Amino acid sequence: HRHLLGIEGLQPTDISALLDLSENAIEVSRQVEKKLSTLRGRTQINLFFEASTRTQSSFELAGKRLGADVMNMSVASSSVKKGETLVDTAATLNAMRPDIIVVRHHAAGAVQLLARKVGCSVINAGDGAHEHPTQALLDALTIRRHKGSLQGLIVAICGDVLHSRVARSNLLLLHAMGARVRLCGPSTLMPAGVERLGCDVFRSMKDALDGADVVMMLRLQRERMHAALIPSTREYFRYYGLDAAKLAYAKPDALVMHPGPMNRGVEIDPEVAESTQSVINEQVEMGVAVRMAVLDALAHHLPNGDAAPGSSE
């Protein structure tokens, strides 16, 4: 693959290979000297049209740990603000001869469009409610390290599924790897007909969490809702917020996950987020490793891009 646009299109063998490569990247990241030369001389541009803490900073660190020159394009102070279109922005950046562009955009499909307009590799860092493939990969890596395998696990994904690219990419990945996915949330925040994707859909957290191996909470994405449709925090937390009482329905060793950023007291009780079952900070560490693995894998497909010595593969 020249690009990573989504989990859709990846085979289980591709996913396993990326997770295996990520294990090497964890080792590198835990050393005092963290630098490889896989992307030495290469240019990576991070182009984020939406806010990000985890994804942007981990892509920056991942690129730097592989030796790339990383440029963070500041969209807020760019000519996008003067009305330059996505396609014109892409053509402008392409003329500067980057090797990899990492893109986050509020519109589903925008990253695919951009990939058709540039000559370099493109990585989707989240496009609208469509996909966030590196999030699903880092979640899978976190789960695999705790549970050994994804095959046969019951994973409950709960909350604002409607607006969640994280849920969609996770659903695709988890199904590909043989896990069973349960979705849970109010009907107003559940995509119509999502059962057709082969998951079980629940309205009640008690039913959704019963015997689950993993409980993945989603952020209530209020910024994507009409003001009149935003649920009250108190009511939402009562029915859909993960507290100790609801978590008790899951297996005693169930993992608690959240992609971040968290709304404490909305979709998750702070005590649960900080409990021994929570792997939320570990997900962040895995994020750097997975992004190193993705960049490393793409490096082998860059023009004239045989990996330099020091590659972690």
Residues in the site for ligand CP, rule: CB under 6 A? Answer: 52-55, 126, 135, 259-261
In the complex, least distance from residue 60 CB atom to ligand CP, rounded to whole angstroms:
11
Q: Which is nearer to ligand CP, 201 or 266 (CB)?
A: 266
Neighbours of 261 (CB within 10 A): 11
Nearer to ligand CP, 55 or 142 (CB): 55
> Closest approach of Cβ 152 to ligand CP, in Å?
26
Q: State the residue for tokens 């349960």.
A: 182
Sheet containing 121-127, strands listed edge to edge, beginning at the edge strand earlier in sequence: 69-73, 43-48, 100-105, 121-127
| End-to-end C-alpha distance for the chain, whole angstroms | 16
For 22-50, the DSSP string reads: HHHHHHHHTSSS----TTTT-EEEEEESS
Q: Which residue is nearest to ligand CP (CB)?
A: 55
Considering the complex, what minimum distance in angstroms separates the CB of residue 48 from ligand CP? 8
Instruction: Compare residues 126 and 133 and give the one whose CB is closer to ligand CP.
Output: 126
Q: How far is the CB of 34 from ligand CP (least distance, A)?
A: 21
Residue placing its CB nearer to ligand CP in the complex, 134 or 311:
134
Q: How far is the CB of 109 from ligand CP (least distance, A)?
A: 18
Q: What's CA 300's distance to the chain center, in Å?
A: 22
**Helix H or strand E segment including 257:** strand 255-257
Euclidean distance between CA atoms 268 and 94, whole angstroms? 42
> With respect to ligand CP, which residue has the nearer C-beta, 84 or 282?
282
CA dihedral for 46, 263, 195, 188, sign (positive or negative) = negative
Report residue 240: phi and psi, to 5°.
-125, -5
